[in-house]
Structure 1
Amino acid sequence: MDIKEIRKSFPILNQEVNGHPLVYLDSAATSQKPIPVIEKINEYYRLNNSNVHRGVHTLGTRATEGYEGARDKVKNFINANSTKEIIFTRGTTTAINTVAYSYVRLHLEEGDEIVLTPMEHHSNLIPWQQAAKAKGAILKYIPLQEDGSIRMEDVENAITDRTKLVAMAHVSNVLGTINPIKEVAEIAHKHGAKLIVDGAQSTPHMKIDVQDLDCDFFVFSGHKMLGPSGIGVLYGKQQLLEEMEPVEFGGEMIDFVDLYESTWKELPWKFEGGTPIIAGAIGLGAAIDYLEEIGLDNIEKHEKELAAYALQQMKTIDGIQIYGPENRAGLVTFNLDDVHPHDVATALDSEGIAIRAGHHCAQPLMKWLNVTATARASFYLYNTKEEIDILVASLRKTKEFFGDVF
């Protein structure tokens, strides 16, 4: 990977913030967009803007080809069995809620179990809380080890014959923990349970093969993987999606409508009511092209090197607390003694460094860590070791400043 050449594709990085060159270390929240993605979206609106599936005119044909072509790219990107298994949504949150309402609630009975981990993003927690309340089901949690990882022994103990669903992040957005999804799927299926995987933090950074993982549902968002905001993907095994009813009704998802009865289109369109996210899907397709040209294996290797380097350098700072396992994805979550994470982020921003501070939509995990908030630096294919050096130097400066103040 030639990082200098890659960075040329991201015009937003070539600017100063507060008088300093921008150091963008918040890709776990949202990634920046390369020129080919921006241009592809622009091309759609400039030359091909039309609704899809409905018109027979040239613009409609072009738009439909772009939209459905993006679906085919997603299918190949995650190695789904068919484009029928690829549903475009507004994002990870919408995809999870679709499964919660259209599949899980219909199969839950009082006393059934939903198994989770305490590291889940709120989007992969609250829908299951609501489903459990509505159906009288029980939420169970796989305990975390001291470093934020899970043990297979605890997975075995948590999943029983009463378990209907296991919901788990592939990669924690706080700890960087990489969960053993394939092994969890095997245990879940042994007990007749289904597995939904939150892939929002894994899909942009490593090669995904849903058939190899054998998960039943897999969800992710475009904006974290160089694509535009407002587009996401729900992958589901075709048999399960066939069983499910739509959660949104209206145009585009219907086959036949009478005054008193209606029927639905076949997969995947029965879940895509209304005018779909056309430009978003086309932009996501362009992002996939860009990622595949560089290679997910190369991206994963680069990010792990950055994470290892960041851990090594940050541990030399006195009074820093770092959370998560040694073997992690490309992010580091931390706190500085006696300095609130928001103050850390504000101080770094004054130096042109963008990080995230807060509870990261993971309040139960914050409680487990015994903190109210943390700071997080997250890396992507366009980041460099030099940027980590700038981060570490600014953290030292921040610590010294607040030490003098207090």
Structure 2
Amino acid sequence: MDLLGPLTAELDELLADADAALARHYPGERAGRQPVHTLYLPADRFQAGSVADLGAQASQVLAEHEQDFLTVIDGDEDLLARVRAKIETEPIEDLRIDFEDGYGTRPDEEEDAAAQAGGRALATLLGQDPPPFTGIRIRSFEPESRARGVRTLLLFLEALGQVPDGFVVTLPKVTAIEQVAGLAHACQRLEAHLGGRLQFEVQVETPQSVLGADGRVLLAPIVTAAEGRLTGFHYGTYDYSAACGIAAGQQSLDHPAADHAKAVMQVAAAGTGVRLSDGSTNRLPVGDHLVPGWQEHLRLIRRSLERGFYQGWDLHPAQLPTRYAATYRFFRDGFPAAAQRLHTYVSRQESAILDEPATARALSDFVARGLDCGALEESEVVTATGLQIGTLWAMARRPREGERA
């Protein structure tokens, strides 16, 4: 045993750089809750009252078509009540004010005015009843739109007057790692000008953001290039599909090309604190397509959740009922088995399922996410698992708001 001390010291010295790199590149889950969706609203339609208006529209659709919605959710009255309460109290979790595809190409003077008006409107909203997360999608950092994107961001932030908590800048159509590094640099300069802390998310909607010309997978170096500012990878359904040559009629969240891109996103983001969001469906639940649209949206959200994508895009207030219904049902359906397995694991009871620590962590994370989104209540979690909430979060290795990873 005399060798043990010197050998351990030698190994620590030998692996010191690798240990530091691991801690730097893979810090683990970031603190705080993850929104279950991002709702994109064209900038010319955004006003201080937009969140309340969108919630009212969602409530109206639900009230007018309650029986249709009950049919879609298999007559689950409890789920209907939960969805109705969510829409009444917090209809939107993450609002993205869109100056890109949803806004379209406008004269510079018009976009300047919209950026300033949007910043002022968000400042007003922040003093009222804002969603937990907000942000702005600027134009891409391709040469032809780069200056316009930066100008819009600067004008918007100057009018806003501060960088609020939960504010995120969305960078679309990334085609090079250097564009991400460029936005990190711009954020640093804007912070020096305005104060606060800017973070951003990258939309994965070009093949070049997944695979480089030299055959390298680029999503992992994109995380590094963001210099700690990257909060998420968001899949862009239609731009990515079109760039891959997929016909318009087959473009969908569940196309094999979409699954491939999202699988690469998932591996690249694992352990980094960068969160994942699925994209949108353009088959909206409106008019004669209300029930089929709800059914399709419900199915796609459930599919995303089962594949570890706990967030997605919404484009219309009529999608809010199915967003919350699918999310709540996913966590409530899985909760009894997860709670029982956690209880068995912690109490070391004999079971037909032998869960390892990594699985116990996944079970804890599942329950913690159910609590975060409102699908589960703390009282039922404590009763069913026998765990205090702080212990649950510690097992999931998910820092709570205000804690460090």
Question: Highest relative contact order (Cα 8 Å, sep 6+), 1 or 2?
Answer: 1
TM-score in terms of structure 1 length: 0.28
Q: Judging by fraction of residues, say which structure has more strand.
A: 1
Q: Judging by fraction of residues, say which structure has more helix.
A: 2
TM-score in terms of structure 2 length: 0.28
